[in-house]
Every structure is written in C-alpha cells, then in structure tokens.
Amino acid sequence: MPDQRPLAAKVLDLVVYAPVWLAVRLSSDLPGRVAGGCARVQQRVQVARWVGEMAVTFGRSEVERRLTTAAEHRSLQPIVAAPLAMVSAHQPSAPPFEGYEHLAAAQIVQLLGRLPHAELVLIRDYETAHRRRRTILAKLTQLLGS
C-alpha cells in the first residue's frame, strides 16, 4: 500500500529525522567499528611482519648454504669472483660462467644489469661467437655503451 502521507511530512522525514537517526546510529556504532578496524589492521601488520621475518630467515640460510657449497666446490664458483688476469685470458669458446648455456635470453638480460663491466665483455664475446641472441646483444650494447 503506498504511503498516503502528505509531501511535507515526507520531506520532513528526509531533511530532519534521517540525519538525526544517522547521527545517533553513528555515535553508538562508531567506537566499535573503529576498534574492529584497528584490530584487523594490527592482525595484518603482524602477519606481514611474520612473513617478512620468515623471508629474511630463509634467505639468510639459503645464502649461507650456497656460499658453503661454493666454497666446497671451487670449480663451481662463478667467474664474477675471478681475478682480472683470469678474465682477460678467458676464451670466448667457453661459456662465461657455469650454467650460462642453460639460461634463456630473458633470464640473462635480467642478470646483465648486476654484472661488472669485465663480465659484460665476456658475455658479449661469447654471444657474438656462438648463439648471437639479439636481445642479449642489444642489452649489452646499451650497458657497455658501444
């Protein structure tokens, strides 16, 4: 059944009574909602902190494990740690470092920005002599400025 009240009564409900009801409702619900929101944020921060601590702990143990393995197997150490004399004597027929030939071009391009100049030259020489992958050679040209 439609509301039979006059238009003035409907407007009075919307303009006066609705805001008063909203203010009363908010004043009673607001502290509880704020407390609930704070509790949810604190829980999420605690979870994020725990995940961060776990990542650091796992990362540290993984780095220590890899360093120990590399120290035990001197032949597996990457060429990054090689002295410059060894780098200059490196032949382009051998891969620049262990496992290089198994990496995709996209993976190598991601690594290039973190390598020293001497290794970039080695990789450029190797790629030029062997597979000639354009993405790798283009990134090397950009980084070496030649």
Q: So what's the pLDDT on residue 11?
A: 87
131 phi/psi in degrees, rounded to 5: -85, -25
Instruction: Express each pLDDT in 13-37 by its tens digit.
Output: 888 888 888 888 877 887 888 888 8
Quick check: 70 and 77 in contact, CB under 8 A? Answer: yes
pLDDT value at 93 more than 60: yes
In order of 37, 40, 87, 98, 127, the CA distances from 33 in angstroms are: 6, 11, 65, 58, 62
Q: Which residues of 72-94 are buried (b: 16+ CB within 10 A; e: fewer)?
A: eeeeeeebeebeeeebeebebee
pLDDT value at 89 more than 70: no
